[in-house]
């Protein structure tokens, strides 16, 4: 099976189509009473004017953000939408349908009170009543610019798939970048403190679940998940999170808040595991069982590849497989 398809077969592309009326119209010179002495459009742009109270539109932006957050919880940005593990697609679709129902309900409420709210807003800006009224749009026109849509699409690469291979190879880096953003809030949980509030564990868990459900797209991800799990296994079930476990958690937060560091850590740990697996296999082939002395000779790793060339070679090995050889071991590469 083609290397790309090994990954895309496990993904669903979720595309959000959420349209929100801007509540703005183009600003005209007569609106500002500038007369004829104004710069030409080639030189300056007068921008836009609000023709609706922006507070009334915030609810729609909140719902749109909620939809994006739901997609990013179990997925990653991909091809203008979100790549989501197929096993999570149905649950995400249910969540998006709930948000669509909320959006549609708020749209109906907004339009029913549109004229009254507009008059109330104009009353607070009597000096600018004339330019506002010139730009007013009827509720029927505004309603057509408020829409919540979403599509779930199966990805099926063609033989000539363009740059899809590059996009798939970049999924891991995109996931690390998104985790870096999620982890920024963890810094405040540690800075200037001696104990970690248990509320911060929720942020660690959300990051861990995102990485875990997407680990199949890039072998560098699983070692990062294992690092998080290792720390969680040592966190006390109750009582303060302080001392060495606090310090270790701070180090973990620093790891998660830097995409490049995560990628290097994951690549190094993955490389180490590949080396250990080969040593164990060689030992089994020689004596029929694993020889502990052979394992002790496995290459050591700090979690960071020794050179850029080594790291790039490891990245080349991250995706795809050839058919298994006589020894049953698969070689990963594009």
Sheet containing 147-154: which strands, arranged edge to edge?
Answer: 76-78, 81-85, 11-19, 147-154
54 vs 93, higher pLDDT: 93
Least confident of 22-26, 174-178, 231-235, 286-290: 286-290
pLDDT at 35 over 80: no
pLDDT at 40 over 60: no
Contact 36, 172 (CB under 8 A): no
pLDDT at 309 over 80: no
Instruction: Compute the distance between CA of residue 101 and CA of residue 138 in angstroms, rounded to an integer.
Output: 23
Average pLDDT along the chain: 80
Predicted local distance difference test score (pLDDT) of residue 36:
54
Under the banding of pLDDT at 50, 70 and 90, the label for residue 138 is: confident
Q: Any idea of the CA torsion for 169, 175, 177, 179, to the nearest 10 degrees?
A: -160
Per DSSP (E only), the strands in the chain are: 11-19, 24-26, 48-50, 76-78, 81-85, 147-154, 195-196, 241-242
Greatest extent of the chain over all pairs of C-alpha atoms, in Å: 95
Instruction: Compute the distance between CA of residue 224 and CA of residue 205 in angstroms, rounded to an integer.
Output: 13
What is the H or E stretch that residue 213 is in? helix 200-213
Under the banding of pLDDT at 50, 70 and 90, the label for residue 2 is: low
Whole-model pTM: value is 0.74
pLDDT at 262 over 90: yes
User: How many residues does this entry show for the chain?
Assistant: 334
pLDDT at 189 over 60: yes
Instruction: Compute the distance between CA of residue 81 and CA of residue 150 in angstroms, rounded to an integer.
Output: 10
Under the banding of pLDDT at 50, 70 and 90, the label for residue 185 is: confident
For the segment 22-42, the average pLDDT, to the nearest whole number, is 59
Q: What is the CA radius of gyration of the chain?
A: 27
Under the banding of pLDDT at 50, 70 and 90, the label for residue 25 is: low
Instruction: Compute the distance between CA of residue 332 and CA of residue 314 in angstroms, rounded to an integer.
Output: 9
């Amino acid at each position: 099976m083609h290397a790309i398809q090994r990954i895309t077969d496990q993904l669903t592309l979720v595309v959000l189509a959420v349209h929100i009326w801007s509540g703005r119209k183009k600003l005209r010179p007569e609106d500002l009473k500038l007369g004829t002495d104004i710069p030409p459009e080639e030189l300056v742009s007068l921008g836009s004017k609000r023709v609706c109270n922006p507070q009334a539109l915030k609810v729609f932006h909140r719902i749109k953000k909620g939809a994006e957050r739901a997609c990013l919880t179990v997925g990653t940005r991909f091809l203008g939408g979100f790549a989501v593990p197929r096993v999570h697609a149905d649950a995400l679709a249910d969540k998006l349908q709930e948000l669509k129902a909320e959006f549609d309900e708020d749209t109906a409420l907004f339009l029913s009170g549109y004229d009254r709210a507009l008059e109330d807003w104009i009353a607070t800006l009597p000096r600018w009543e004339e330019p506002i009224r010139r730009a007013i749009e009827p509720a029927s026109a505004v309603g057509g610019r408020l829409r919540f849509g979403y599509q779930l699409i199966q990805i099926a690469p063609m033989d000539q798939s363009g740059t899809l291979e590059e996009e798939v190879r970049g999924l891991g880096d995109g996931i690390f970048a998104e985790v870096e953003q999620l982890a920024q809030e963890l810094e405040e949980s540690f800075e200037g403190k001696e104990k970690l509030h248990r509320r911060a564990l929720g942020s660690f868990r959300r990051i861990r679940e995102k990485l875990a459900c997407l680990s199949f797209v890039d072998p560098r991800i699983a070692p990062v998940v294992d690092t998080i799990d290792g720390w969680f296994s040592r966190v006390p079930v109750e009582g303060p999170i302080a001392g060495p476990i606090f310090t270790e958690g701070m180090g973990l937060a620093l790891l998660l808040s830097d995409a490049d560091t995560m990628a290097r850590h994951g690549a190094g740990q993955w490389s180490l595991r590949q080396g250990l697996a080969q040593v164990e296999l060689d030992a089994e082939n020689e004596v029929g069982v694993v020889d502990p002395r052979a394992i002790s000779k496995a290459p050591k790793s700090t979690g960071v590849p020794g050179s850029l060339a080594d790291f790039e070679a490891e990245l080349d090995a991250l995706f795809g497989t050839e058919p298994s050889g006589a020894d049953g071991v698969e070689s990963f590469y594009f």
